[in-house]
Amino acid sequence: MQILVVIDGPGAHAGTGTGSHPEVVTRMAVSPAERELGLENGTLTRRAAALGVSGAS
């Protein structure tokens, strides 16, 4: 059994925006998920953007 916990600090602050955060920070919750799922880097972000999910780059 594996338990993966990722705390998305910048996303927890409503209204702060992500424009001033480096990409490594804005993707801190997504990158480990992609790695653990065996997905190519950026897959989840591209999919979220295609679906029009708020906050997707």
Residue 24: which pLDDT band, with cuts at 50, 70 and 90? confident
pLDDT of residue 15: 60
What secondary structure letter does DSSP report for 12? Answer: G
User: pTM of this prediction?
Assistant: 0.60
For residues 21 and 27, what is the distance between their CA atoms, to the nearest angstrom?
A: 10
Mean pLDDT of the chain: 77
More confident residue, 7 or 14: 7
Q: Which residue has the higher pLDDT, 10 or 7?
A: 7
- How far apart are alpha carbons 20 and 24 in whole angstroms? 12
Contact 31, 44 (CB under 8 A): no
